[in-house]
Amino acid sequence: MQVMKGKRVQGWFWLLALVIGGLLIWGTQHNAGLYHDPIMKVTQVKTGRATKETDDFHNQDYQTKQTLTGHILNGSYRGRSLTVTNTYSQSGAMDQRYHVGSQLFVVVHQHTGQKLTATAKDVKRDTPILTMIWVVVALLLLIMQFSGFMAFLSVAANGVLFLMAILLNGSTQGAQVLWIFGSLAIVFAALTLWLVLGANRQMLITLATTLGGTAFSIIVALLVFHFTHERGMYYESMQYVTQLPRPLFLAETLLGSLGAVMDESTDIISSLFALKRERPELSANQVFKSGRQIGSTIMGPLINVLFFIFVADTFPMAMLYLKNGNSWGYTFSMNMSMGVVQSLISGIGIVLAVPLASFLASRFMEKKVSA
Amino acid sequence: MSTISTLGLILLMLMILVGGKAGAQSFLALILNFGLLFLAIVLVAFHFSPLIVTLVTGMLVLALTIFMSSGDDLSSTVAFIASAVVLVVLVAVIVPVEQWALVQGFGPEDSEDLEGLSVLVGISFVQVTTATAILSTLGAIAEAAMAIAAGLSEILEQHPQVGLKALMGDGIAVGKQIIGTTFNTLFFGFFGGFLALFIWFTGVHYSFGEILNDKIFVSEILMILFAMVSVILTVPITTWVMTRAVAGQRKRADKAKMGE
C-alpha cells in the first residue's frame, strides 16, 4: 500500500517537473520584452550561393550569404519588419547559420523614414541554457531527492560567494586576487562540507584533510616554480586575462584543486565511516589500510577529472593552431602547457590527501559510529 | 629542468609512495590519456570526423582510466560498462543541445587570441565544440562510476552475503554521499578555469542579459551542466550494473553447488 502511494507521489513529481520545464521553454521564447537590445524574429530566409575560400595554408571553406526577413519583438521598434544579411561559413568558427524562427539580437543603424537598417549581432541563447539548468535540477531532485537538493544548494551558495569574490576582486583592481580567493577557498570548503555532510565529526575530519591537501599542493607548486624559474610556462598563453597573470593563475589552480581534494577526502572518509558501521570491530590500522586502498583506487581517476576539465577545453584553439601551420610543440606550449601545469599541481594535492584522510579518519573516528 | 617535468616527477614519486604499483599505473594512464587527447586533436586537424574520433577516444580513455587503476576485477568491469553506457547517453544529449544553442567555435572575447589565425579551416566547429564538451566530461564519468563501484565492492568484501535490495540501497546511499562533493569538483574545476573570463565580464561591465546570451559563457556553463547530468546518471546506472553482476555471480555459484 505504501509502495503504491510512494509511486503515485513520485509520478506527480515527474509530471510537475515536465509542466515547469514546458513553461520555462515557452517563457524564454516570449521574454523579449525583458531585454534592452532589439530582438528580431526571423520569418523568412533566402540563401545565396556558396563561394569557395582558400587561405594561405590551403585550408578550403565555403561561405554563404543569407538574407533574413523578420520583425522586431521588443522596444521602440516593436512590430517593425526588417531585412538583414548574414554570412556563414561551413566551419562556423565565428559565425552561424540562422533559420526561420531564430531570435537574434540586432543593432539598428538608421531609422529615418520607413526603412529600418540593421545588422545581426548574435543569436538569443537563454532558452537552451535555462532548459539545461532545469534538466539538471529536475534530475537531481528526482533521483537524489534530499541529498540532491543539498548538492544543488551548495553549488548555488558557492556560485553566489564566487560572484561576490569576483566583484570584490574588480573593486581592488585585481591586486589582491590570490588573497581573496585563498581565504574564500576556506569559506567555500567549510560551507560545502557543512551542507553536504552536516555539522559532525566526519565533516571536521574531511575539512581538515581538504585544507591540508590543497595547502600542501600550492606550497609544493610555489617551491617548484622558485627552483625551476618557471621554465616552460607561458603566462601569455592564458585566455581572457585582464590583470596580472601569475597570481590569477595561482588563484585558478587553487580553486580547481580545492573541489577535487574535497571530493576525494569525502569519498574516502565517508566510505570508511560506512565500513565502520558495517564492521564496528575493525582496528584503527585496518581502517587506515582500507582508506589507503580506496584512496589509491580513486586518486588516478580524480586527477583525470581535472586533467580533462583543464585541457580538453583547449581543443578548438589547438586544432586551429595546427591548421594554421604551427608545429606540435608550439601548439602544445601556447594552448595546453598551462592546463597541464594546473592538472599536475592539483594531482599532487589529490595524492597527498590520501594518507592524510586515512590517517585522520582512522585516528579520530569515534569508537562506535552512530548511524 | 622545466616546470612541467619537475612537477610531473614529483607527482609520479608521490603516486608510487602512496599507491605503490597501482600508483605508477595511474600515472601511466594519465600520460596515455594526454597522448590520446593530443592524438584526437591531430586526427581532427587531418579532417577525420570529430564525433567518431571523440567516441573512439572516449571509450579508450574510459577503459584506460578504469582498468589501469588498482580496483578489483569486479568493480573495474562494472565501472567500465556503466561509464560506457553513460557516455552513449550523454552523446545523445550533447549533440542536439550544441546544435540548438549555437555555441560552436569562438566568441568576440577570443578576437585577441585569434589575431593572425585563419578561422576558415573547413572543419565543422559545431562538431569540434561537441567533441570538446564530451571529452571534458570523460574524467567525471569515470571517476563517479569508479567511486560507486569501489564503495560497493568494499561493502561486498566485508559483507559477502549482503542482499541485492540492500546493495541497491547502499549504492544510492554512497551516491548521495558523493553527489554533493562531486558537483563541487566540477563547479570548482570549471569555474577555477574560467576565473579570468568572469573577471573580464565584470571588468567590461556586461549586463546580465548579455552574459546569459554570450557565446563563450553559455558554452562553458553547458559543459558544466553536461558533466553534472552525466554524474547524476552514473549513480543509478553503476549501482544497477553492480547488482546485475552480483546476481549473475551468485546464480553461477548456486548452479555450481547444485552440480556437485
| Distance separating alpha carbons of residues A173 and B37, to the nearest angstrom | 37
| Distance separating alpha carbons of residues A16 and A14, to the nearest angstrom | 5
Across the strands, what pairs with A60?
A54
The answer to whether B69 contacts A91, with C-beta atoms less than 8 Å apart, is no
| Distance separating alpha carbons of residues A66 and A92, to the nearest angstrom | 14
The 8-class DSSP code of residue A109 comes to E
| Distance separating alpha carbons of residues A225 and A167, to the nearest angstrom | 29
The answer to whether A312 contacts B30, with C-beta atoms less than 8 Å apart, is no
The answer to whether A89 contacts B120, with C-beta atoms less than 8 Å apart, is yes
CB A252 within 8 A of CB B26: no
Mean pLDDT of B44-56: 95
Which sign does the torsion angle of CA A214, A220, A226, A229 carry?
negative
Domains of chain B: total: 1
With respect to residue B1, please indicate whether it lies within any of the assigned structural domains. Answer: no
Of A314, A35, A122, residue with least CA distance to B107: A122
> Please, which residues have CB within 8 angstroms of residue A331's CB and are 6 or more apart in sequence?
A318, A321, A322
SS3 string, A136-158, reads HHHHHHHHHHHHHHHHHHHHHHH
C-alpha cell, A116: 529600418
Rounded to 5, what percent of chain B is helix, strand, coil? Answer: 85, 0, 15
CB A144 within 8 A of CB B176: yes
Q: What is the CATH number of the domain that holds B136?
A: 1.20.1640
pLDDT in tens, B153-176: 878 888 888 888 888 888 888 888
Give the DSSP H or E segment for B228.
Answer: helix B215-259
One-letter amino acid of A168? L
CB B32 within 8 A of CB A307: no
Closest residue in A to B37 (Cα–Cα): A312
Across the strands, what pairs with A68?
A45, A84
Classify A71 as helix, strand or coil: strand
Classify A135 as helix, strand or coil: helix
CB A342 within 8 A of CB A310: yes
> Domain residues for B221?
48-259
How many alpha carbons fall within 13 Å on the CB side of residue B190? 26
**pLDDT classification of B142: cutoffs 50, 70, 90:** very high
The 8-class DSSP code of residue A200 comes to S
What CATH fold (topology level) applies to the domain A172-364?
A: Multidrug efflux transporter AcrB transmembrane fold (1.20.1640)
With respect to residue B16, please indicate whether it lies within any of the assigned structural domains. Answer: no
Give the start-end residues of each E strand in chain A.
Answer: 39-47, 51-54, 60-72, 81-89, 103-110, 117-123
- Give the C-alpha distances (Å, rounded to integers) separating B68 from B23, B28, B54, B86, B139: 9, 8, 20, 20, 14
For A308, which of B8, B100, B138 is closest by C-beta distance?
B138
Classify A23 as helix, strand or coil: helix
pLDDT-flagged residues of chain A (< 50)? 1-2, 369-371
Classify A52 as helix, strand or coil: strand
Chain A: give the shortest CA distance to residue B16, in Å.
10
The angle formed by the CA atoms of residues B183, B186 and B192, to the nearest 5 degrees, is: 130
Q: How many CB atoms lie within 10 A of CB A316?
A: 25
Give the position of cell 570526423: B49
pLDDT in tens, B98-141: 999 999 999 989 988 898 899 999 999 999 999 999 999 999 99
With respect to residue B14, please indicate whether it lies within any of the assigned structural domains. Answer: no
Where b means 16+ CB within 10 Å and e means fewer, B63-101 reads bbbbebbbbeebbbbbbbbbbbbbbeebbebbbebbeeb
Domain edges within chain A: 31-124, 172-364
Across the strands, what pairs with A40?
A72, A104
Give the position of cell 599532487: A348
C-alpha cell, A57: 595554408
Mean pLDDT of B177-182: 81
pLDDT score at B121: 93
With respect to residue B127, please indicate whether it lies within any of the assigned structural domains. Answer: yes
Chain B: give the shortest CA distance to residue A306, in Å.
6
For A123, which of B41, B102, B226 is closest by C-beta distance?
B102
Closest residue in B to A92 (Cα–Cα): B125
Give the start-end residues of each E strand in B139-198.
Answer: none
From the number of C-beta atoms within 10 Å of its C-beta (0-12, 13-18, 19+), residue B158 rates as middle
Contact with chain B for residue A88, Cβ under 8 A: no
For A324, which of B15, B118, B155 is closest by C-beta distance?
B118
Contact with chain B for residue A252, Cβ under 8 A: yes
Read off φ and ψ for residue B115, nearest 5 degrees: -55, 130
The answer to whether B154 contacts A290, with C-beta atoms less than 8 Å apart, is yes
pLDDT in tens, A29-66: 999 999 999 999 999 999 999 999 998 898 999 999 99
Contact with chain B for residue A180, Cβ under 8 A: no
Mean pLDDT of B54-80: 89
